[in-house]
Protein backbone atom coordinates (compact mmCIF):
# COMPACT_ATOMS: atom_id res chain seq x y z
CA UNK A 1 0.00 0.00 0.00
CA UNK A 2 2.91 2.37 0.84
CA UNK A 3 4.60 1.72 -2.56
CA UNK A 4 1.31 2.40 -4.37
CA UNK A 5 0.95 5.72 -2.46
CA UNK A 6 4.52 6.90 -3.44
CA UNK A 7 3.86 6.07 -7.10
CA UNK A 8 0.65 7.98 -7.00
CA UNK A 9 2.42 11.02 -5.51
CA UNK A 10 5.10 11.13 -8.32
CA UNK A 11 4.21 13.42 -11.25
CA UNK A 12 3.84 11.83 -14.67
CA UNK A 13 6.91 11.83 -16.99
CA UNK A 14 5.70 14.73 -19.19
CA UNK A 15 4.94 16.70 -16.05
CA UNK A 16 8.50 16.17 -14.79
CA UNK A 17 9.95 17.31 -18.14
CA UNK A 18 7.73 20.39 -18.08
CA UNK A 19 8.86 21.08 -14.57
CA UNK A 20 12.55 20.73 -15.50
CA UNK A 21 12.05 22.78 -18.66
CA UNK A 22 10.26 25.45 -16.74
CA UNK A 23 13.07 25.47 -14.19
CA UNK A 24 15.77 25.70 -16.94
CA UNK A 25 13.83 28.36 -18.80
CA UNK A 26 13.47 30.28 -15.59
CA UNK A 27 17.23 30.26 -15.03
CA UNK A 28 17.83 31.41 -18.61
CA UNK A 29 15.27 34.18 -18.19
CA UNK A 30 16.96 35.26 -14.97
CA UNK A 31 20.34 35.24 -16.71
CA UNK A 32 18.97 37.25 -19.63
CA UNK A 33 17.40 39.73 -17.25
CA UNK A 34 20.71 39.99 -15.34
CA UNK A 35 22.62 40.97 -18.49
CA UNK A 36 19.76 43.14 -19.77
CA UNK A 37 20.06 45.28 -16.68
CA UNK A 38 23.84 45.52 -17.10
CA UNK A 39 24.56 46.56 -20.75
CA UNK A 40 28.29 47.11 -20.17
CA UNK A 41 28.72 43.63 -18.70
CA UNK A 42 26.71 42.19 -21.61
CA UNK A 43 28.96 43.93 -24.14
CA UNK A 44 32.04 42.67 -22.30
CA UNK A 45 30.71 39.09 -22.26
CA UNK A 46 30.02 39.16 -26.01
CA UNK A 47 33.05 41.09 -27.27
CA UNK A 48 35.54 40.15 -24.57
CA UNK A 49 36.65 36.70 -25.84
CA UNK A 50 37.36 37.86 -29.44
CA UNK A 51 39.30 40.87 -28.16
CA UNK A 52 41.21 38.66 -25.75
CA UNK A 53 42.23 36.37 -28.61
CA UNK A 54 43.34 39.36 -30.70
CA UNK A 55 45.39 40.76 -27.84
CA UNK A 56 46.95 37.40 -26.98
CA UNK A 57 47.82 36.22 -30.49
CA UNK A 58 48.22 39.52 -32.38
CA UNK A 59 48.82 42.59 -30.22
CA UNK A 60 51.29 41.06 -27.76
CA UNK A 61 53.46 39.33 -30.46
CA UNK A 62 53.40 42.53 -32.53
CA UNK A 63 54.44 44.61 -29.52
CA UNK A 64 57.21 42.12 -28.75
CA UNK A 65 58.47 42.39 -32.34
CA UNK A 66 58.48 46.20 -32.10
CA UNK A 67 60.50 46.07 -28.89
CA UNK A 68 63.01 43.56 -30.28
CA UNK A 69 63.44 45.57 -33.49
CA UNK A 70 64.84 48.52 -31.49
CA UNK A 71 67.46 46.41 -29.73
CA UNK A 72 70.89 45.39 -30.91
CA UNK A 73 72.77 42.14 -30.66
CA UNK A 74 71.11 39.70 -28.30
CA UNK A 75 67.56 40.30 -27.12
CA UNK A 76 67.67 42.53 -24.07
CA UNK A 77 70.58 44.59 -25.37
CA UNK A 78 70.75 48.39 -25.61
CA UNK A 79 68.15 50.32 -27.58
CA UNK A 80 69.11 51.54 -31.05
CA UNK A 81 67.83 52.60 -34.46
CA UNK A 82 70.70 50.89 -36.27
CA UNK A 83 68.54 47.98 -37.45
CA UNK A 84 66.21 50.31 -39.32
CA UNK A 85 68.93 52.55 -40.70
CA UNK A 86 70.97 49.55 -41.89
CA UNK A 87 67.97 48.14 -43.75
CA UNK A 88 66.75 51.42 -45.26
CA UNK A 89 70.28 52.42 -46.38
CA UNK A 90 71.03 49.08 -48.05
CA UNK A 91 70.49 48.97 -51.82
CA UNK A 92 70.58 45.17 -51.68
CA UNK A 93 67.68 44.87 -49.26
CA UNK A 94 65.65 47.59 -50.97
CA UNK A 95 66.10 45.86 -54.34
CA UNK A 96 64.77 42.66 -52.75
CA UNK A 97 61.76 44.62 -51.47
CA UNK A 98 61.18 46.02 -54.97
CA UNK A 99 61.44 42.55 -56.53
CA UNK A 100 59.03 41.20 -53.91
CA UNK A 101 56.60 44.02 -54.67
CA UNK A 102 56.72 43.32 -58.42
CA UNK A 103 56.13 39.59 -57.94
CA UNK A 104 53.30 40.24 -55.48
CA UNK A 105 51.58 42.67 -57.86
CA UNK A 106 51.93 40.22 -60.76
CA UNK A 107 50.57 37.33 -58.71
CA UNK A 108 47.67 39.45 -57.42
CA UNK A 109 46.79 40.61 -60.94
CA UNK A 110 46.91 37.09 -62.40
CA UNK A 111 44.93 35.53 -59.57
CA UNK A 112 42.34 38.35 -59.66
CA UNK A 113 41.72 38.02 -63.41
CA UNK A 114 41.71 34.20 -63.46
CA UNK A 115 39.78 33.87 -60.20
CA UNK A 116 37.14 36.41 -61.19
CA UNK A 117 36.63 34.75 -64.57
CA UNK A 118 36.35 31.35 -62.89
CA UNK A 119 33.88 32.58 -60.26
CA UNK A 120 31.84 34.41 -62.93
CA UNK A 121 31.66 31.23 -65.03
CA UNK A 122 30.55 29.17 -62.04
CA UNK A 123 27.80 31.64 -61.11
CA UNK A 124 26.52 32.50 -64.57
CA UNK A 125 27.04 29.43 -66.74
CA UNK A 126 26.94 26.35 -64.51
CA UNK A 127 24.32 24.53 -62.47
CA UNK A 128 26.83 22.35 -60.60
CA UNK A 129 28.10 25.18 -58.44
CA UNK A 130 28.59 23.02 -55.35
CA UNK A 131 30.70 20.47 -57.22
CA UNK A 132 32.79 23.18 -58.92
CA UNK A 133 33.40 25.02 -55.65
CA UNK A 134 34.43 21.73 -54.06
CA UNK A 135 36.97 21.22 -56.86
CA UNK A 136 38.26 24.76 -56.33
CA UNK A 137 38.95 24.28 -52.61
CA UNK A 138 40.11 20.67 -53.02
CA UNK A 139 43.84 21.62 -53.07
CA UNK A 140 43.48 22.96 -49.50
CA UNK A 141 43.00 19.39 -48.33
CA UNK A 142 46.61 18.64 -49.23
CA UNK A 143 49.68 19.91 -47.41
CA UNK A 144 51.24 23.12 -48.75
CA UNK A 145 54.70 21.50 -48.91
CA UNK A 146 53.40 18.44 -50.76
CA UNK A 147 51.76 20.70 -53.35
CA UNK A 148 55.01 22.57 -53.87
CA UNK A 149 56.98 19.36 -54.33
CA UNK A 150 54.34 18.24 -56.84
CA UNK A 151 55.03 21.42 -58.83
CA UNK A 152 58.77 20.70 -58.63
CA UNK A 153 58.13 17.36 -60.34
CA UNK A 154 56.01 19.10 -62.96
CA UNK A 155 58.31 22.04 -63.75
CA UNK A 156 61.78 20.53 -63.40
CA UNK A 157 63.91 19.55 -66.38
CA UNK A 158 62.55 16.34 -67.96
CA UNK A 159 59.58 16.65 -65.63
CA UNK A 160 55.92 16.17 -66.43
CA UNK A 161 55.64 19.46 -68.36
CA UNK A 162 58.79 18.97 -70.45
CA UNK A 163 57.94 15.34 -71.20
CA UNK A 164 54.47 16.36 -72.37
CA UNK A 165 55.87 19.12 -74.59
CA UNK A 166 58.43 16.72 -76.09
CA UNK A 167 55.67 14.22 -76.87
CA UNK A 168 53.83 16.81 -78.99
CA UNK A 169 57.05 17.99 -80.68
CA UNK A 170 57.56 21.22 -78.71
CA UNK A 171 60.83 22.27 -77.01
CA UNK A 172 61.25 21.80 -73.25
CA UNK A 173 60.82 24.87 -71.05
CA UNK A 174 62.64 23.82 -67.84
CA UNK A 175 60.76 26.42 -65.78
CA UNK A 176 61.92 25.28 -62.34
CA UNK A 177 64.01 27.87 -60.43
CA UNK A 178 62.73 30.76 -62.53
CA UNK A 179 60.33 33.66 -61.95
CA UNK A 180 57.56 32.05 -64.08
CA UNK A 181 57.76 29.00 -61.79
CA UNK A 182 57.25 31.26 -58.76
CA UNK A 183 54.28 32.96 -60.43
CA UNK A 184 52.73 29.58 -61.30
CA UNK A 185 53.20 28.29 -57.77
CA UNK A 186 51.71 31.40 -56.15
CA UNK A 187 48.78 31.45 -58.59
CA UNK A 188 48.00 27.82 -57.85
CA UNK A 189 48.21 28.30 -54.09
CA UNK A 190 46.18 31.52 -53.74
CA UNK A 191 43.58 31.03 -56.48
CA UNK A 192 41.03 29.32 -54.17
CA UNK A 193 41.36 32.15 -51.63
CA UNK A 194 40.35 34.67 -54.31
CA UNK A 195 37.61 32.60 -55.93
CA UNK A 196 35.56 32.29 -52.74
CA UNK A 197 35.01 36.06 -52.11
CA UNK A 198 34.53 36.63 -55.84
CA UNK A 199 31.89 33.90 -55.89
CA UNK A 200 30.13 35.30 -52.82
CA UNK A 201 29.92 38.81 -54.31
CA UNK A 202 28.75 37.55 -57.72
CA UNK A 203 26.07 35.39 -56.12
CA UNK A 204 24.55 38.47 -54.47
CA UNK A 205 24.61 40.43 -57.74
CA UNK A 206 21.11 41.41 -58.91
CA UNK A 207 20.75 39.98 -62.43
CA UNK A 208 17.95 42.48 -63.16
CA UNK A 209 20.58 45.24 -63.20
CA UNK A 210 22.49 43.42 -65.94
CA UNK A 211 19.32 42.94 -67.97
CA UNK A 212 18.44 46.62 -67.49
CA UNK A 213 21.89 47.64 -68.72
CA UNK A 214 21.46 45.49 -71.82
CA UNK A 215 17.98 46.91 -72.44
CA UNK A 216 19.46 50.41 -72.33
CA UNK A 217 21.85 49.48 -75.13
CA UNK A 218 25.06 48.76 -73.21
CA UNK A 219 27.31 46.05 -74.62
CA UNK A 220 28.87 43.23 -72.58
CA UNK A 221 32.04 45.20 -71.86
CA UNK A 222 30.20 48.35 -70.75
CA UNK A 223 27.74 46.29 -68.71
CA UNK A 224 30.62 44.54 -66.98
CA UNK A 225 32.49 47.80 -66.33
CA UNK A 226 29.47 49.84 -65.21
CA UNK A 227 27.35 47.24 -63.39
CA UNK A 228 28.99 43.90 -62.63
CA UNK A 229 32.41 45.04 -61.45
CA UNK A 230 31.25 48.02 -59.31
CA UNK A 231 28.55 45.88 -57.68
CA UNK A 232 31.09 43.21 -56.76
CA UNK A 233 33.95 45.53 -55.79
CA UNK A 234 33.84 44.48 -52.13
CA UNK A 235 34.53 40.88 -53.09
CA UNK A 236 37.29 41.95 -55.48
CA UNK A 237 39.02 44.05 -52.81
CA UNK A 238 38.73 41.19 -50.31
CA UNK A 239 40.25 38.76 -52.81
CA UNK A 240 43.11 41.15 -53.58
CA UNK A 241 43.90 41.54 -49.88
CA UNK A 242 43.79 37.78 -49.31
CA UNK A 243 46.28 37.25 -52.14
CA UNK A 244 48.61 40.25 -51.85
CA UNK A 245 49.42 40.02 -48.13
CA UNK A 246 50.50 36.35 -47.96
CA UNK A 247 52.37 36.64 -51.25
CA UNK A 248 54.42 39.61 -50.01
CA UNK A 249 55.53 37.73 -46.90
CA UNK A 250 55.87 34.26 -48.37
CA UNK A 251 59.20 32.45 -48.38
CA UNK A 252 58.42 28.74 -48.99
CA UNK A 253 57.20 29.01 -52.59
CA UNK A 254 60.07 31.23 -53.85
CA UNK A 255 62.60 29.08 -52.00
CA UNK A 256 61.34 25.81 -53.52
CA UNK A 257 60.39 27.02 -57.02
CA UNK A 258 62.52 30.15 -57.51
CA UNK A 259 65.92 29.01 -56.32
CA UNK A 260 68.57 31.53 -55.35
CA UNK A 261 67.93 34.00 -58.20
CA UNK A 262 64.40 34.93 -57.11
CA UNK A 263 64.85 36.09 -53.52
CA UNK A 264 61.86 37.65 -51.77
CA UNK A 265 61.88 39.64 -48.57
CA UNK A 266 60.23 36.83 -46.63
CA UNK A 267 63.29 34.67 -47.35
CA UNK A 268 65.55 37.43 -45.97
CA UNK A 269 63.53 37.65 -42.76
CA UNK A 270 63.56 33.87 -42.37
CA UNK A 271 67.33 33.84 -42.85
CA UNK A 272 67.82 36.47 -40.13
CA UNK A 273 65.81 34.42 -37.63
CA UNK A 274 66.89 30.87 -38.52
CA UNK A 275 70.43 31.17 -39.89
CA UNK A 276 71.96 34.51 -38.86
CA UNK A 277 70.19 34.48 -35.46
CA UNK A 278 69.95 38.28 -35.73
CA UNK A 279 66.43 38.56 -34.38
CA UNK A 280 66.46 42.37 -33.88
CA UNK A 281 67.40 42.98 -37.53
CA UNK A 282 64.81 40.44 -38.73
CA UNK A 283 62.17 42.08 -36.54
CA UNK A 284 63.07 45.51 -37.95
CA UNK A 285 62.68 44.22 -41.52
CA UNK A 286 59.35 42.67 -40.58
CA UNK A 287 58.11 45.95 -39.11
CA UNK A 288 59.11 47.94 -42.20
CA UNK A 289 57.44 45.40 -44.49
CA UNK A 290 54.28 45.42 -42.36
CA UNK A 291 54.06 49.22 -42.61
CA UNK A 292 54.64 49.10 -46.38
CA UNK A 293 51.97 46.43 -46.91
CA UNK A 294 49.38 48.23 -44.78
CA UNK A 295 50.09 51.54 -46.56
CA UNK A 296 49.80 49.92 -49.99
CA UNK A 297 46.54 48.20 -49.09
CA UNK A 298 44.99 51.40 -47.71
CA UNK A 299 46.10 53.34 -50.78
CA UNK A 300 44.90 50.66 -53.21
CA UNK A 301 41.57 50.24 -51.45
CA UNK A 302 40.86 53.98 -51.45
CA UNK A 303 41.94 54.47 -55.04
CA UNK A 304 40.08 51.40 -56.29
CA UNK A 305 36.94 52.16 -54.32
CA UNK A 306 36.99 55.80 -55.44
CA UNK A 307 37.40 54.91 -59.09
CA UNK A 308 34.62 52.33 -59.07
CA UNK A 309 32.33 54.59 -57.03
CA UNK A 310 32.92 57.35 -59.57
CA UNK A 311 32.14 54.93 -62.40
CA UNK A 312 28.99 53.81 -60.66
CA UNK A 313 27.76 57.37 -60.29
CA UNK A 314 28.43 58.06 -63.94
CA UNK A 315 26.50 55.01 -65.00
Residue 16 reports pLDDT greater than 70: no
| pLDDT reported for residue 139 | 85
Residue 24 reports pLDDT greater than 60: no
- Residues 160-172: what's their mean pLDDT? 91
| pLDDT reported for residue 39 | 82
pTM over cut 0.85: no
Look at domain 92-305 and name its CATH class.
Answer: mainly alpha
| pLDDT reported for residue 302 | 74
| pLDDT reported for residue 153 | 93
Per-residue pLDDT band at 4 (split at 50, 70, 90) = very low
Q: Fill in the DSSP letter of residue 226.
A: I
| pLDDT reported for residue 309 | 52
Residue ranges of domains in the chain:
92-305
- Residue 18 or residue 141, greater confidence: 141
- Residues 175-194: what's their mean pLDDT? 93
CB-based burial, 1-25: b 16+ in 10 Å, e otherwise: eeeeeeeeeeeeeeeeeeeeeeeee
Pick from 170, 191, 176: which is nearest to 254 by CA?
A: 176
Amino acid sequence: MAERSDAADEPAAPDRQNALGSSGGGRLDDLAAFFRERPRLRTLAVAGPPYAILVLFFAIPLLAMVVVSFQTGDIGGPWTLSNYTEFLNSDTYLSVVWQTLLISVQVTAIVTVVGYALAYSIVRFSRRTTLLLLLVILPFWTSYIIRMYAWINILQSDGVLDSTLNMVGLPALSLLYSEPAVLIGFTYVWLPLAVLPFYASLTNLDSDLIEASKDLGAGPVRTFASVTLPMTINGVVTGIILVFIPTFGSFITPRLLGGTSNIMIGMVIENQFKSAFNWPFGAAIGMVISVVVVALLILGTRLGGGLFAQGGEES
